[in-house]
Amino acid sequence: MSYPMIKMNAAVIHNFLRAFILLGFAALIVYLEVSGEILLYVTPKLTIYLDIAAGGLLIVGGFQLYISIVSLKRPVIVCDCNHDHDHGHSHELPTSLGKNVIIYSLFLLPLVFGAVLPNTALAGSLAQKKGMNLGGVSLNQSTAPADLVELDGNEDPALKEKFKTSIYNRDYAKLGMLLYQQDQVEMKDQWYIEKLQALNTFVDNFQSKPIKITGFVYREDGMPDSQFIIGRLGMTHCIADISPYGIIAETAQAGQYANDSWITVTGTIDQTTYHGQKVMKIMIDKIDKATAPSVPYVYPDWDFAAKL
């Protein structure tokens, strides 16, 4: 076989590898979108950008596949460098096997791992590394009377007096008043983090209020045997910024429930001190086993106050 033919065969292999990588990533994104598993990696609001990326990869990958097929018949140079390739300027591919293996592995390994490895959500192990957030977005609030303001609106003046707060917590006070008027606080996926913040900010107002929540069991070192934390994982933008959020729960039967098991807890709101900070806890009345959702994350809603 002649040397030019060997070089041509190498170029064909490179072209098809590039097409496979581009189309492979596009196919992986499409699969994750169709299966719903894309929500294990990014929030729903960001999936549109992955749709655009998949479309771009399909176009570029399709063009690269066309180049690959044409290169089976003749050498193909796709270049816009305005140089004369017959006078010393070349676009020869790297000839080092080791260099090629390293370069293509950077793209092929993530593609293979993404296609083969199971898509599973983190739970207790992540909470162990990052620490459980028991207060929502923040527990800081001003307690000085001069800093407290009353909400606008036509609600009962006595109710508005209960939810006086700093100007920074007015949105959570508005949500708190809504929760206060419900027969039972139900911690659903929507506004989970915002509800946690509102309940902790005004925990005194919610003493003995019925509450229902589903989540995974988690324990920190030093917790009493009668307590565990029932938690959820919150995702702000993508899997890189996941944070665990939860509520301390108390019952004499706490030891019967293993870490990372999913349960539904019904009880009443109380309060306790955790690491020197006053937080809410649940005095458990009933525990039911629950099935872990396929997408176990909850997402913050920065515009929740406008939707109340």
- C-alpha span between 119 and 117 (Å, rounded): 7
User: Which residues, including other chains, have CB under 8 Å from residue 36's CB and lie 6 or more apart?
Assistant: 294, 295
Please report the pLDDT score of residue 142 as a whole number: 44
Q: Are 278 and 271 in contact (CB under 8 A)?
A: yes
- C-alpha span between 279 and 271 (Å, rounded): 6
As a whole number, mean pLDDT of residues 155-159 equals 80
Residue 304 has φ and ψ, to the nearest 5°, of -60, -35
In CATH, which of 3.90.1150.10, 3.20.20.220, 2.60.40.1190, 2.40.50.140 is domain 124-307? Answer: 2.40.50.140
* Three-state secondary-structure class, residue 226: coil
Please report the pLDDT score of residue 220 as a whole number: 86
Answer whether residue 183 shows pLDDT above 70. Answer: yes
Answer whether residue 136 shows pLDDT above 90. Answer: no
pLDDT-derived band at 275, boundaries 50, 70, 90: confident
Q: Among 48-57, 118-127, 236-245, whose mean pLDDT is lowest?
A: 118-127
Answer whether residue 300 shows pLDDT above 70. Answer: yes
Q: Are 195 and 187 in contact (CB under 8 A)?
A: yes
pLDDT-derived band at 274, boundaries 50, 70, 90: confident
Answer whether residue 146 shows pLDDT above 60. Answer: no
For the record, the structure tokens of 282 come out as 């649940």
Looking at per-residue confidence, does 270 or 80 come out higher? 270
Question: Could you tell me the residue ranges of all domains in the chain?
Answer: 3-116, 124-307
Token look-up 């005004």 returns 202
Residue whose C-alpha is closest to residue 19's, from 60, 71, 75: 60
Sign of CA dihedral 141, 214, 121, 28: negative
- C-alpha span between 194 and 183 (Å, rounded): 19
Q: What is the pTM of this model?
A: 0.77
pLDDT-derived band at 267, boundaries 50, 70, 90: very high
Answer whether residue 108 shows pLDDT above 50. Answer: yes
| Interval 189-207: pLDDT, tens | 999 999 999 999 999 999 9
- C-alpha span between 91 and 135 (Å, rounded): 59
As a whole number, mean pLDDT of residues 30-49 equals 90
pLDDT-derived band at 281, boundaries 50, 70, 90: very high
β partners of residue 267: 211, 284
Token look-up 């033919």 returns 5
Q: Are 141 and 166 in contact (CB under 8 A)?
A: yes
Answer whether residue 85 shows pLDDT above 80. Answer: no
